Structures are given as structure tokens and as C-alpha cells.
């Protein structure tokens, strides 16, 4: 990348309202919303407020249909397979409430999964008299086939459901999801994919996966407002989907009944975050999704290189976009995570997660269009100072 290219990328930071002096390397947790998308949301708020009854009763359903169509095109499926929900957590709860677990059944997961997801499925299993099996996966990861084999080593004739991330939260690993879903289908398992990091970071093609459920958040890499996500349900499972919030369960504008009706109207709520999702898709479309992915993966690769050489930090995956995208987790020397994360914020104004995982301390820089190499350099220098004493 030449200097002119870097200068052009640098200009993208002005599209966000990030505070002066802040080094934000935590898009993977809470992605800030660009100015253009926030403006689109405010415009929708004004439209709603101009006649709330007309908009909510007559216009909302078709408008949400337009949002689903844009998301479906981005995620490689049909709009009829998507329901709009606040985030992947809500979507995962709906999926968990929609499966039929019996005493003695097992749910298979692995130890790279998001803690809240494991907590949810542990509770579901306890209530059903079932068992959550969390299979450890060897790190560093070297081979996709080995990951698939090791994961399904824990599958038994009692296993009914597979819960697996597309991109893991603590370790930032892109799993070989198509191969995992294919093996799950061969075993007759219901597959529930946790995908909040994948939308926009990867070229997601849900239909090609053949999974039963796919849960997503749009406020991370897609840059949509907080409180936007979706649940994908395969047509073979749509009849069994049960909402976690019960309201009228029908369309207000008289459209043909659908399994999604339970989710379009869950009582009075602000629809503007969802209605601004197309503006977020258009925003990233200006730079091009493939250009966005190459740029942010290049920054994550630079972070990997600098952390490895300056801190003797170790990566958990090979240096290949097959295994990581716009964020990377690197192992730091053992120690307490929370004080280190707090010191990075208090002394250097760096926002970044330091994760405790399986006895390791991981730093997880994540990169977006507002990120430059000097932000990563600042992180590396700050860590050098803090870890040296």
C-alpha cells in the first residue's frame, strides 16, 4: 500500500464521532456507528414521530421487509428466512427456546465459544435434564480438518444440537464452518451458529452452510446502530420457532401470515435502528466490502506481526485470512487481565479487551476503517511499558 492509499484510508476516521485522543481497538465488542448511519437513524425517528400510528400500523411491516431484503442479499439467503431482532443474544435465546430437548440429550459446543452463549445453553440443558458438552480444541490451530475431527470427537448417540461460532469471540478464530455444518448434518444434528462477528467481516453465505439457525448482530462490523441483529431460520425449522416475548403475533397492516409475525411486533419500540441498517450497508458499499475486508485484515495482520516481534506474543492460528479476519487474538505473558485492560485505558486511552481464556491472557485488537497503523503501534508500545514493570 503506497502513501497515497494510506492517506485515503486515514480520511475514513472522520466518518466517525470517536473522541479526540481515543485509540479504539474494540470494534469486536461495540462497534461505533458512523455519522452517516446515525443521521439516517435520526431521519427515521423524525418520520415515525410525524405520525406514529400511521407509521407503526401501516408502514412498519413493509419497511422492515425492505431491511430484511437488504440483509438477506448481504448474508446469502432469502428475506423470508430472516427475522429482525436486537442482537445475536436475543436471536440465540429464540433459537434455544425453539428446540426440543429431552432428559439425557446432549448439546455439543467447544471452549472457544462466547461465555454468554455457553451460559444460556447450560441453563437450557439444566431445565430440560440434558447435558452441555464443551469440547476443548487444541491451540495453536493448524488444520481445518483436525478442528472438525476434534470437535466431533465429543459427539455421541445422545447429541442432538451443535452450537458453534462462525468467528469466535475470545480467540478471534474463523472456524471452518461449512465443513463443521456438513459433518453435523451427516450426524443428524440441529446446527445453531453464533455469527455476530461474521456479518461484513466475511462474505457470509448462509444458504451454502445448510445450518438450522444463524444468529447475528449488525452493530459490529456492519456499522449499524446498537440494537440491530437478525435470526436466520432454515425453512425446515420455521414451524417450530417460538418467541421469547409474546405479543399479538400477527401483522398489523394485513399482510399474509408468516413465522416472522411474532418478531415484527413485540409491543411499542423504536424501529429507527433497524430502518437505518440499509444506510450502514450503503456506507460500507462506498469503499467496497472486499476492499474493507482486505484493509482490515491487513491491519490485523500488522497487529499480529508487531505484537509477535515486540512482545514475543503467540498467535493461536496460522497467518492466513482463512483463519482470522479483522481481529486477532495474541497470547501475552501470564498475569491478571482486568488490571492490564484498565491500565491501558487509564494511562493511554486505549480501548481494547484483555481476555482470560483457558488459563491464558489474550489481547484482541480489532480493526475497522477508522483504524490506522499508528493506533497499533501505540498499543504495542503501551503494552511493552506495562508488561516491563
Q: Tell me: the pLDDT tens digits for 222-235?
A: 999 999 999 999 99
Q: Is the dihedral of CA 225, 71, 86, 214 positive or negative?
A: negative
* Mean pLDDT of the 126-138 span: 98
Given a cut of 70, is residue 4 above it in pLDDT? Answer: no
* Mean pLDDT of the 263-280 span: 89
What integer pLDDT is reported at residue 203 of this predicted model? 98
Q: What span, in angstroms and rounded, lies between the C-alpha atoms of 137 and 224? A: 33
Residue 80 burial (C-beta neighbours within 10 Å; 0-12, 13-18, 19+): middle
Given a cut of 50, is residue 301 above it in pLDDT? Answer: yes
Torsion of CA 83, 85, 90, 94, to 10 degrees: -20
* Mean pLDDT of the 268-281 span: 95
Residue owning grid cell 481494547: 352
Find, among 123, 214, 209, the residue nearest to 165 by Cα.
Answer: 214
Find, among 371, 288, 283, 367, the residue nearest to 39 by Cα.
Answer: 283
Q: What span, in angstroms and rounded, lies between the C-alpha atoms of 132 and 121? A: 7
Q: What span, in angstroms and rounded, lies between the C-alpha atoms of 381 and 233? A: 45
What integer pLDDT is reported at residue 2 of this predicted model? 42
Categorize the per-residue pLDDT at 3 as very low, low, confident or very high, splitting at 50, 70 and 90: very low
* Mean pLDDT of the 77-92 span: 96
Q: What span, in angstroms and rounded, lies between the C-alpha atoms of 206 and 157? A: 27
* Mean pLDDT of the 214-220 span: 98
Q: Beta strand pairing status for 360-363 and 354-357?
A: antiparallel
* Mean pLDDT of the 107-114 span: 98
Q: Which three cell numbers stand for residue 32?
A: 461505533
- DSSP, collapsed to helix, strand or coil, labels residue 100 as coil
Q: What span, in angstroms and rounded, lies between the C-alpha atoms of 31 and 217? A: 10
Given a cut of 90, is residue 260 above it in pLDDT? Answer: no
- DSSP, collapsed to helix, strand or coil, labels residue 24 as strand
* Mean pLDDT of the 69-89 span: 97
Given a cut of 60, is residue 255 above it in pLDDT? Answer: yes
Q: What span, in angstroms and rounded, lies between the C-alpha atoms of 322 and 262? A: 37
Q: How do residues 66-76 score in pLDDT, each as one tens digit?
A: 999 999 999 99
Q: What span, in angstroms and rounded, lies between the C-alpha atoms of 216 and 207? A: 15
DSSP state of 32: P
Categorize the per-residue pLDDT at 1 as very low, low, confident or very high, splitting at 50, 70 and 90: very low
Task: Please name the residues in contact with 321: beta carbons below 8 A apart, sequence gap of 6 or more.
Answer: 297
8 A C-beta contact, residue 363 and residue 4: no
* Alpha helices, DSSP H, located in the chain: 3-10, 35-50, 52-53, 60-75, 88-97, 115-128, 144-152, 177-186, 206-209, 261-264, 272-275, 277-287, 289-311, 337-348, 373-387
- DSSP, collapsed to helix, strand or coil, labels residue 75 as helix
Length of the chain: 389
DSSP secondary structure, 201-264, as one string: TB---HHHHT-SEEEEESSSTT-PPSS-EEEEE-TTTGGG---SS-S--S-SS-PPP-TTHHHH
Q: Exposed e or buried b for every residue in 213-246, given b needs 16+ CB within 10 A?
A: bbbbbbbbbbbbbebbbbbbbbeebbeebebeee
Q: How do residues 327-384 score in pLDDT, each as one tens digit?
A: 999 999 999 989 999 999 999 999 999 999 999 999 999 999 999 999 999 999 999 9
Q: Which three cell numbers stand for residue 35?
A: 455519522
DSSP state of 34: P
Question: What percent of the chain is predicted at pLDDT more than 70?
Answer: 97
**What are the phi and psi torsion angles at 159 (to 5°)?**
-70, 130
Q: Which three cell numbers stand for residue 71?
A: 440483509
The pTM (predicted TM-score) of the whole model is: 0.95
Find, among 149, 165, 84, 74, the residue nearest to 117 by Cα.
Answer: 165
DSSP state of 11: G
Categorize the per-residue pLDDT at 6 as very low, low, confident or very high, splitting at 50, 70 and 90: confident
Residue owning grid cell 498499543: 379
* Mean pLDDT of the 8-21 span: 93
- For the chain, what is the mean pLDDT? 94
- Residues facing residue 198 across a β-bridge: none
Amino acid at each position: 500500500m503506497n502513501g497515497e492509499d494510506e492517506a485515503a484510508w486515514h480520511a475514513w476516521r472522520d466518518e466517525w464521532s470517536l473522541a479526540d485522543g481515543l485509540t479504539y481497538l474494540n470494534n469486536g465488542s461495540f462497534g461505533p456507528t458512523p455519522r452517516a448511519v446515525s443521521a439516517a437513524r435520526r431521519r427515521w425517528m423524525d418520520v415515525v414521530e410525524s405520525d406514529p400510528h400511521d407509521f407503526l400500523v401501516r408502514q412498519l411491516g413493509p419497511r422492515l421487509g425492505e431491511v430484511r431484503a437488504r440483509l438477506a442479499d448481504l448474508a446469502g439467503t432469502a428475506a423470508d428466512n430472516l427475522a429482525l431482532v436486537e442482537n445475536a443474544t436475543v436471536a440465540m435465546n429464540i433459537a434455544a427456546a425453539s428446540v426440543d430437548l429431552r432428559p439425557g440429550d446432549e448439546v455439543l459446543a467447544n471452549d472457544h465459544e462466547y461465555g454468554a452463549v455457553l451460559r444460556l445453553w447450560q441453563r437450557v440443558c439444566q431445565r430440560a435434564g440434558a447435558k452441555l458438552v464443551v469440547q476443548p480444541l487444541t491451540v495453536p490451530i493448524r488444520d481445518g480438518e483436525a478442528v472438525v475431527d476434534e470437535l466431533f470427537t465429543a459427539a455421541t448417540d445422545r447429541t442432538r444440537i451443535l452450537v458453534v461460532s462462525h468467528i469466535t469471540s475470545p480467540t478471534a478464530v474463523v472456524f471452518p464452518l461449512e465443513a463443521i455444518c456438513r459433518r453435523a448434518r451427516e450426524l443428524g444434528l440441529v446446527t445453531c451458529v453464533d455469527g455476530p462477528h461474521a456479518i461484513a467481516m466475511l462474505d457470509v453465505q448462509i444458504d451454502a452452510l445448510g445450518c438450522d439457525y444463524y444468529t447475528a448482530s449488525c452493530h459490529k462490523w456492519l456499522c449499524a446502530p446498537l440494537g440491530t441483529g437478525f435470526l436466520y431460520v432454515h425453512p425446515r425449522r420455521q414451524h417450530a420457532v417460538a418467541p421469547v416475548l409474546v405479543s399479538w403475533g400477527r401483522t398489523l397492516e394485513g399482510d399474509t401470515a408468516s413465522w416472522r409475525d411474532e418478531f415484527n411486533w413485540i409491543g411499542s419500540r423504536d424501529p429507527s435502528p433497524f430502518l437505518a441498517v440499509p444506510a450502514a450497508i450503503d456506507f460500507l458499499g462506498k469503499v467496497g466490502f472486499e476492499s474493507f475486508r482486505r484493509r482490515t485484515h491487513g491491519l490485523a495482520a500488522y497487529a499480529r506481526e508487531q505484537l509477535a516481534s515486540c512482545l514475543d506474543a503467540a498467535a493461536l492460528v496460522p497467518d492466513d485470512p482463512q483463519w482470522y479476519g479483522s481481529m486477532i487474538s495474541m497470547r501475552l505473558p501470564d498475569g491478571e487481565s482486568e488490571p492490564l485492560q484498565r491500565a491501558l485505558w487509564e494511562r493511554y486511552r486505549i480501548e481494547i479487551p484483555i481476555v482470560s481464556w483457558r488459563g491464558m491472557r489474550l489481547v484482541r485488537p480489532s480493526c475497522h476503517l477508522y483504524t490506522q497503523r499508528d493506533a497499533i503501534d501505540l498499543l504495542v508500545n503501551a503494552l511493552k511499558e506495562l508488561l516491563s514493570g
